[in-house]
Amino acid sequence: MTQIIEQILPTLPVTDVLAEIGVALASHGQAVLSAPPGAGKTTLVPLYLLDQSWRGDGKIILLELRRLAARAAASRMAALLGETVGETVGYRMRLDTRISPKTRIEVVTEGVFARMVLDDPELGGVSAVIFDEFHERSLDGDFGLALALDVQAGLRDDLKIVVMSATLDVERISNLLGEAPVIKSLGRSFPIDIRYDDRPSRERIEDSVARAIIEVHGNEKGSILAFLPGQGEITRTVERLDGRFGPDTHVIPLYGNLSQKEQDAAIKPTEPGKRKIVLATSIAETSITIDGVSVVIDSGLQRLPVFEPSTGMTRLETVKVSRASADQRAGRAGRTEPGIAIRLWHTGQTAALAAFTPPQILASDLSALALDLAHWGVTDPASLAFLDQPPQSALIEARALLTSLGALDASMTITPRGKKMRELAMPPRLSAMVIAAQEAGHGNDAAMLAVILTEQGLGGSDIDLEERLRRFKYEKGERATAAKSLAKRIVLSLGGRVRDASADTVTAGELLLRAYPDRIAFQRGGRGRYVMANGRGAELAETERLATEKMLVVADVTGRAAQPRILAAASIGREDVEEHVPDAVRTEDQLFFEKASGQVRARRVTRIGAIVLEETPLGKPSGEKAALALANGIREHGLVILTFSKEAQQLRQRLGFLHRTIGDPWPDTCNEALVGRLDEWFVPYQHDARSIQEIRSGGIMDGLLSLVPHSAQRELTKLLPTHFEAPTGQKHPISYDGDEPTLTIRVQELFGLKQHPSVAGGKLPLLLELTSPAHRPIQTTRDLPGFWAGSWKDVRADMRGRYPRHPWPEDPASALPTNRVKPRGT
């Protein structure tokens, strides 16, 4: 072992494999390390690599998903070296950076690393990149690894890459890295007693957690770590625990929006004789150590962002944790001594949990990724080594958004405006908002609003962003000061001048229109109920101040797609929309089908997306436009609203039968296929119809035949005649709606027929459904001569008694056909 390891670093489980990591990097350039929480990988691996000969004077970059974890990791490594953060070990993140010329290990958040690569493709001065806790599969982490592998393959074959994780499909990662060596550290943990306490279905999660905490606090020793899905549940749990414990127990929240000081209070060791109860989100699952915890209470829930490409909206959804997350959480109880993990669900439900939390790349807004890919010069993400490729549908929507924002041109190449947007290091919508506002002289407020929307908690928690912006301008404190400094840097980077915040007179709603024109919302259905321009509904509590506003622009929502709840919005007026995003307001003449009356109507509509502002009836339409509107009505409501005559229905069955049995050139006539081809067979043949009632049956027949090539139409009657002419001379329709053509006929009409009836030139026998004189089924046959010679005897014996006035000859093959009864006296 090297001198630094022997003399300075503690002995932890990962110590045993450090040399193996060094060898793998020296020979292969890549390594995958699987090590459980508490093994020491986050701290010891970067420090160990400092002394590797291949490092030279290059930096080691350690990636962490969360800022709390980045600060904690840098602090622990600096302490082991007997230094302060910012010397050999420093960190770099969005609102806080502590590095110096001496810094050789930089702990950075994953988003920061992606920008480092995009701004410096050769990663000059960097010798190694370490991806910590990669199993969390953040979008930035996946993209960062893809970029690092691309740099290593094309520009820096000397760059070393380490991927570390506690719960990970290491073989899959190894394959992605070109069969990189897999190194496993068994780690060290104490026994954990896992208990289950099934939560009543109607009990709020904060009530269940508070009850479990109070009970275990009285029965067990040590500090308690409780996992809840989000800040709201944590706040309500704190309220329920207020006054429940003596001065020796402190209840401390832990979530991403807290200040550094508040977060540090949750993870620092307790004083002797003291206990703490930490109420945390998933932020405490990995990467950070909370000393003294011997009891974990797991709500079994987490809050994840879910992106809907069809609406361009990301909503937060509360879902069950994965088995991997549940195991990670339980493991927090056995870091330093035997512990207890209490799971607030039934024991049998664990097996039903998903194995892993889904990767963010599969359910995220990909607009920022698409912009970065364009900057990197990549049009096809498959050319980069993503562990999971970004979904094509989300990527298409992302590029459409970027094009509408002016960030990409028609060839999906990044534009000068797109380059400006990328340099701001914000979501593209907010970057576009700030740039547009700066051009209009309102960059200060826009930059501050953008920071508020990306750093939750600034300016308070009010849903009204106008109020939050007002409060933020006068807010003090370390986090607010850092955020304001960031806003100033944004304005300066655009060549603007930072002015007194009070000088801007623009409203939050006017600013947000540039970012979210598709989320303009109009009150519909009463107080607090809105429909957005993208067609989705959203709600506010009736007690909220904004609930009385007629129009809003919505920045954030949460909850299930059926009932999204507005988290952040600002009021606007129609005049604001017309001034700032005039293209969003459109007036157009529309034709539509009214199902209740079956009529085609026309109207002139002024709208913002799905929001109808004004509507004026127009004269009754006719011609092709009316036919198109009828077709749209059929698409919306299905073929059920269309009446087929008997002849048209039979033609449809005949064509469909030929399609099923022969295929081309005979068309598919099932409901779905006909709806999909309405513009071919319906619209051109119904120009005289202005309602369902006026649709011509002949037009339907002509339209269906038009789907058949002219040369094949002559074959239709030869192959599948519409009727069968019985020996009596009467014609009976043949049904083609099943697997074989079927003829339903009274048995007396077939007397004298010695051959079985068929179609398709005698190649396809009819399925005969023979009926009694009362048209009730008596026999089904595909072999009429065989029926006459066989089971006819039994049928005759039964039928003679029931229908004595009808003929039942012993030899029907030689009898005269009839559709009449026997004359009297015979």
**Full DSSP string of 389-435:** PPPHHHHHHHHHHHHHTTSB-TTSPBPHHHHHHHHTTS-HHHHHHHH
Instruction: Kindly tell me if the per-residue pLDDT of 312 is higher than 80.
Output: no
For 70, how many CA atoms within 13 A lie in the half-sphere containing its CB? 31
Classify 640 as helix, strand or coil. helix
Instruction: Kindly tell me if the per-residue pLDDT of 331 is higher than 90.
Output: no
Report yes or no: 686 and 699 within 8 Å, Cβ to Cβ.
Answer: yes
Nearest to residue 223, comparing CAs of 157, 173, 274, 176?
A: 274
Classify 760 as helix, strand or coil. coil
Backbone angles phi, psi at 570, to 5 degrees: -145, 150
Tell me the per-residue pLDDT of 112-121, one tens digit each, with 9 for 90 and over. 999 999 989 9
For 555, how many CA atoms within 13 A lie in the half-sphere containing its CB? 30
For 636, how many CA atoms within 13 A lie in the half-sphere containing its CB? 11
Burial class (CB in 10 A: 0-12, 13-18, 19+), 431: buried
C-alpha dist (Å) from residue 273 to 135, 297, 489, 513:
36, 22, 46, 55
Over residues 691-705, mean pLDDT: 88
Q: Where are the beta strands (DSSP E) in 647-801?
A: 723-725, 731-735, 742-746, 758-759, 764-765, 767-771, 777-781
Encode burial over 561-571: b for 16+ CB neighbours within 10 A, e otherwise: eeebbbbbbbb
d(CA 618, CA 615) in angstroms, rounded, equals 10
Q: How long a stretch of residues is the chain?
A: 826
Over residues 97-104, mean pLDDT: 94
Residue 153: predicted pLDDT = 93
Fold for domain 192-361? Rossmann fold (3.40.50)
Residue 38: predicted pLDDT = 76
Residues 6 or more apart from 61 whose CB is under 8 A from it?
106, 108, 113, 116, 126, 128, 129, 130
Instruction: Kindly tell me if the per-residue pLDDT of 448 is higher than 50.
Output: yes
Tell me the per-residue pLDDT of 402-431, one tens digit each, with 9 for 90 and over. 999 999 999 999 999 999 999 998 999 999
Instruction: Kindly tell me if the per-residue pLDDT of 503 is higher than 60.
Output: no
* Paired sense of beta strands 520-523 and 301-308, if any: unpaired
Query: Structure tokens of 320?
Result: 């069950």
Nearest to residue 187, comparing CAs of 18, 33, 36?
A: 36
Tell me the per-residue pLDDT of 506-534, one tens digit each, with 9 for 90 and over. 999 999 999 999 999 999 988 999 999 98
Residues 6 or more apart from 264 whose CB is under 8 A from it?
none
Report yes or no: 621 and 591 within 8 Å, Cβ to Cβ.
Answer: yes
d(CA 622, CA 614) in angstroms, rounded, equals 23
* Paired sense of beta strands 551-558 and 565-571, if any: antiparallel
Q: How confident is the model at residue 3 (pLDDT cuts 50, 70, 90)?
A: low
Q: How confident is the model at residue 55 (pLDDT cuts 50, 70, 90)?
A: very high
pTM: 0.75
Q: Return the minimum-mean-pLDDT range out of 185-194, 379-388, 732-741.
A: 185-194
Query: What proportion of the chain, given as a percentage, has pLDDT over 90?
Result: 51
Tell me the per-residue pLDDT of 633-658, one tens digit each, with 9 for 90 and over. 889 888 888 888 888 998 989 898 88
Q: How confident is the model at residue 821 (pLDDT cuts 50, 70, 90)?
A: low
| Sequence letter at residue 360 | Q
Backbone angles phi, psi at 732, to 5 degrees: -125, 135
Residues 6 or more apart from 248 whose CB is under 8 A from it?
273, 274, 275
Tell me the per-residue pLDDT of 727-743, one tens digit each, with 9 for 90 and over. 988 999 999 888 889 99
Q: Report helix angle 478-493 to 443-454, nearest 10.
A: 130
Most confident of 281-285, 441-445, 591-595, 624-628: 441-445
Tell me the per-residue pLDDT of 200-234, one tens digit each, with 9 for 90 and over. 888 999 999 999 999 999 898 889 999 999 888 99
d(CA 517, CA 583) in angstroms, rounded, equals 10
Query: Structure tokens of 345?
Result: 């669900």
Q: How confident is the model at residue 824 (pLDDT cuts 50, 70, 90)?
A: very low
Residue 456: predicted pLDDT = 81
Under DSSP, the state recorded for 519 is: G
Instruction: Kindly tell me if the per-residue pLDDT of 104 is higher than 90.
Output: yes
C-alpha dist (Å) from residue 100 to 81, 84, 97, 105, 147:
16, 11, 10, 11, 26
Report yes or no: 155 and 309 within 8 Å, Cβ to Cβ.
Answer: no
d(CA 351, CA 347) in angstroms, rounded, equals 8
Report yes or no: 376 and 340 within 8 Å, Cβ to Cβ.
Answer: no
Report yes or no: 402 and 367 within 8 Å, Cβ to Cβ.
Answer: yes
Residue 405: predicted pLDDT = 92
Burial class (CB in 10 A: 0-12, 13-18, 19+), 813: middle
Instruction: Kindly tell me if the per-residue pLDDT of 502 is higher than 50.
Output: no
Per CATH, 3-184 and 192-361 having the same topology is answered yes
d(CA 358, CA 356) in angstroms, rounded, equals 6
C-alpha dist (Å) from residue 244 to 188, 215, 250, 343, 443:
35, 11, 10, 22, 48
For 809, other C-beta atoms within 10 Å of its C-beta total 14
Instruction: Kindly tell me if the per-residue pLDDT of 1 is higher than 60.
Output: no
d(CA 481, CA 485) in angstroms, rounded, equals 6
Segments making up each domain of the chain, as ranges? 3-184, 192-361, 639-718, 723-814
Q: Considering Cα of 760, then 761, then 765, then 768, what sign does the dihedral take?
A: positive
Residue 306: predicted pLDDT = 82
Q: How confident is the model at residue 387 (pLDDT cuts 50, 70, 90)?
A: very high
Q: How confident is the model at residue 562 (pLDDT cuts 50, 70, 90)?
A: low
Tell me the per-residue pLDDT of 251-264, one tens digit each, with 9 for 90 and over. 999 987 777 777 87
CATH of 3-184, one of 3.40.50.11030, 3.30.450.20, 3.40.50.300, 3.40.1390.10: 3.40.50.300
Classify 782 as helix, strand or coil. coil
Q: Residue 148 belongs to what H/E stretch?
A: helix 139-154
Greatest alpha-carbon pair distance for the chain in Å reads 126
Residue 688: predicted pLDDT = 84
Query: What proportion of the chain, given as a percentage, has pLDDT over 70?
Result: 96
